[in-house]
Structure 1
Amino acid sequence: MYAKLFEKSFYYALGMTLFCSIVGSLLGGLPYLTIIGALVISLILGMMFQLYRPAITSAEVGIGFISNKFLRLGIILLGFKLNLIDLAHAGVKTILLAMVIVSGVIFLTYNIARKLGVSKQLAILTASGTGICGAAAVMGISPQIKVSKEEETAKHNDEVLAVAIVAILGTVFTLIEIAIKPLLHMSPTQFGVMAGGSLHEIAHAIATGGAGGPVSLSAAIITKLSRVLLLAPAALVIGIWYQHQDQSTSGEKGKLPIPWFMAGFLLASIIGTFVPMPSSVLTWLVKLAYIVLGMAMAALGMSVNFKVFLSSGKKAVVAALTSSVILLVFTIIASKAFF
């Protein structure tokens, strides 16, 4: 009986989330919507589905499954976007800059958020999205945060809120960086490094880097992907740290939170880099990654609690905004000094 109910719920959820993801992907390719990105548009479309509650109720179990399992699959497939040879050619400077940015911004954003009274869970998700790679980082770090069944709804709300924060701020800073470009007097490479080092989503870095020409765009993508590469080790470190924090308060010892799906992410990047395959296949694998991730984002949107969403995010926004301003200033100085 339960198997039949789950199957029906899953197919309902599959259809709704796939619709949101495909529409999000199409809209995300439009000129004025590119900087928002397909993933965030899919999330918004999922939230709009809540206007028709009967559909959400009938698909509730399937929505939970897709937001969890499809998320991991999407992150694994996203690994095909990483070309390790290109990252190696970028040099030690780029990797070191990415390491400083990821570790520094996560630490800074988390501590500012906690000082302002933001919950530990929302603080680390917002910090991860700001420091690493936006929505994909929030979704990649989230499985490392283990909660009880009673707390799963609150966790979903925090995930959506963190994604919304980094998406909005990333879009705002994209427009700011393009506007101040003439005032910075940077070379194309320096401007690209600044864009890739300071902006949250890959789409944001591409939009800004492209404003500086092909050399700037290439530098932006490489710098941004250097931060994406750090998603796997960051997930492991944050998982261990978060578990240690929980042990300190509860006294219970849990299992080591190894993010096995991140091993798939790295394996996919190795295959994409070293296994000969047509570029069209790699392109389709990356597109599939965004479709699957879009479905997971839509599922999250379908399960968000709007009251919590609107009431608990202000302080997290202040924390992310503060660290984003500091990050922009830092990347301007670093790119001018070292690139």
Structure 2
Amino acid sequence: MNTLRQHTPGLLLVLVLALGSLHAATLPWFSQLGLSALTIAIVGGMLLGNTLYPRLATHGHQGVSFAKGQILRLGIILFGFKLTFQDIAAVGISGILIDACVLTSTFALAYWLGRRKLGLDEQSVILIGAGSSICGAAAILATEPVVKAHAEKVAVAVATVVVFGTLAMFLYPLLFALTQALGVSEFAYGVFTGSTVHEVAQAVAAGRAVSELAANSAVITKMIRVMMLAPFLLLLSTWLGRRQQAGSGETRRINIPWFALGFLAMAGFNSLHWLPQAWVSRLIALDNLLLAMAMGALGLTTHFSAIRRAGTKPMLLASALFGWLLVGGTLINSGISYLLHQL
């Protein structure tokens, strides 16, 4: 009971913040900008964290820390209910190959450019790379426990995907209008959008700006990218663990992000369609609430001074990755589609 009393103030604070963010995300102004509840939650958390929360931190610290830890992991696990393996079949092998190539090339470019050319710290590079190459804020949230990043670095990474994901949402429909003369179909545009736009909400908005067909193919392709989050986290954790082991010369236990396996298990269970759709909808709503609570908690512990110290390099890295998603994504989409057509 004593532990519960210690956690209650912080949990109530992030719960109120999450509920407000979920409501705000349904308002026309926010939805038209493609701003998800997660983005609104971290911004709201940062505003409170740099004004009112320092006076309450003594009482709210434990509950906020719990939200950043256990609640975040549970949210990632339940995120699997947004997917089914049938989604993969809807776009075929081409969509899977395109997503895999975009993810791999974008993250590799992020690491090389961020570490070798810009001299950014590894945690920031991995977070920005994950957000750009997989699924925006949700990928950053899921990657944070693996790299054990500070809240400020998470906030900076989220800011980059918000800026360039929002830009993509408005730019992509214009690009489609310019390329229609080249015979680009609405379905192909949707696949390109889903494989290169940062956030799920942004991919939906960019697809619907063209047509429902484009939106559907964009969402399915995007969700396949989301499904690749679990193997990405497992590979990342293994790589970091082995490198640390080699550097120290000691045998160390590699930490497996079990929540990533839980995410895959929930997606597999959801593919069986054993639960009524109404239950699945409630689980998805619960998941949205949990992830918004975790994002709000991260915002509460983020200080503007630390973000200012990060400088312009994170934004430079994100801009380079955005350029690659546009140009490289076009080459990957057209190249794989051409090769499979020849076969």
Same fold (TM over 0.5): yes
Instruction: Output aligned runs, 1:200-279, within 5 Å.
Output: 200-279=198-277
Q: Which whole-Å CA distance do the structure 2 matches of 1:159 and 1:309 have between them?
A: 10
Counterpart of 1:312? 310
Q: CA deviation at 1:161?
A: 1.6
Counterpart of 2:167? 172
Q: 1:129 aligns with which of 125, 128, 131?
A: 131
Q: CA deviation at 1:116?
A: 0.2
Say what the alpha-carbon RMSD is for the aligned residues: 1.7
Alignment length (residue pairs)? 329
| 2:99 aligned with 1:88 | no
Q: Which whole-Å CA distance do the structure 2 matches of 1:127 and 1:99 have between them?
A: 14
Q: Residue by residue, what CA displacement relative to the aligned partner does 1:157-189 show, whole Å, maximum 9, x if unpaired?
A: 212221221122211221221333311213110
Tell me which amino acid in the other structure corresponds to 1:101.
V
Tell me which amino acid in the other structure corresponds to 1:17.
V
Q: Which whole-Å CA distance do the structure 1 matches of 2:232 and 2:147 have between them?
A: 13
Q: Which whole-Å CA distance do the structure 1 matches of 2:203 and 2:102 have between them?
A: 15
Counterpart of 1:24? 21
Q: CA deviation at 1:71?
A: 0.7
Instruction: Output aligned runs, 1:96-175, within 5 Å.
Output: 96-114=97-115, 115-146=117-148, 155-175=150-170
CA contact (8 A) 2:111 2:125 kept: yes
Q: 2:177 aligns with which of 182, 203, 210?
A: 182
Which consecutive unaligned segments of at least 5 residues does structure 1 have? 147-153
Counterpart of 1:151? none
Q: Which whole-Å CA distance do the structure 1 matches of 2:10 and 2:93 have between them?
A: 44
Q: Which whole-Å CA distance do the structure 1 matches of 2:169 and 2:251 have between them?
A: 43
Q: CA deviation at 1:313?
A: 4.5
Q: Which whole-Å CA distance do the structure 2 matches of 1:272 and 1:329 have between them?
A: 35
Tell me which amino acid in the other structure corresponds to 1:232.
A
Q: CA deviation at 1:127?
A: 0.4
Q: Which whole-Å CA distance do the structure 1 matches of 2:193 and 2:225 have between them?
A: 12
Q: CA deviation at 1:321?
A: 1.1
CA contact (8 A) 1:49 1:302 kept: yes
Tell me which amino acid in the other structure corresponds to 1:170.
G
Q: Which whole-Å CA distance do the structure 1 matches of 2:122 and 2:245 have between them?
A: 14
More divergent stretch after superposition (187-196 vs 160-169) = 160-169
CA contact (8 A) 1:76 1:265 kept: yes
Q: Residue by residue, what CA displacement relative to the aligned partner does 1:66-122 show, whole Å, maximum 9, x if unpaired?
A: 101111111111100002112123211111111111111111012111120110111
Counterpart of 1:288? 286
CA contact (8 A) 1:188 1:212 kept: yes
Matched-pair identity in %: 32
CA contact (8 A) 1:144 1:259 kept: yes
Q: CA deviation at 1:336?
A: 4.5
Tell me which amino acid in the other structure corresponds to 2:118.
L
Which consecutive unaligned segments of at least 5 residues does structure 2 have? 339-343
| 2:193 aligned with 1:195 | yes
- Secondary structure of the 1:309 match is helix
Counterpart of 1:149? none
Q: CA deviation at 1:243?
A: 2.1
Q: Which whole-Å CA distance do the structure 1 matches of 2:331 and 2:56 have between them?
A: 51
Q: CA deviation at 1:275?
A: 3.3
| 2:70 aligned with 1:57 | no
CA contact (8 A) 1:56 1:302 kept: no
Q: Which whole-Å CA distance do the structure 1 matches of 2:287 and 2:158 have between them?
A: 17
Q: Which whole-Å CA distance do the structure 1 matches of 2:320 and 2:230 have between them?
A: 25
C-alpha spacing 1:314/1:9, structure 2 compared with 1 (3 Å): farther
CA contact (8 A) 1:190 1:336 kept: no
CA contact (8 A) 1:24 1:294 kept: yes
More divergent stretch after superposition (324-333 vs 218-227) = 324-333
Q: CA deviation at 1:333?
A: 3.7
- Secondary structure of the 1:132 match is helix
Counterpart of 2:47? 48
CA contact (8 A) 2:196 2:326 kept: yes
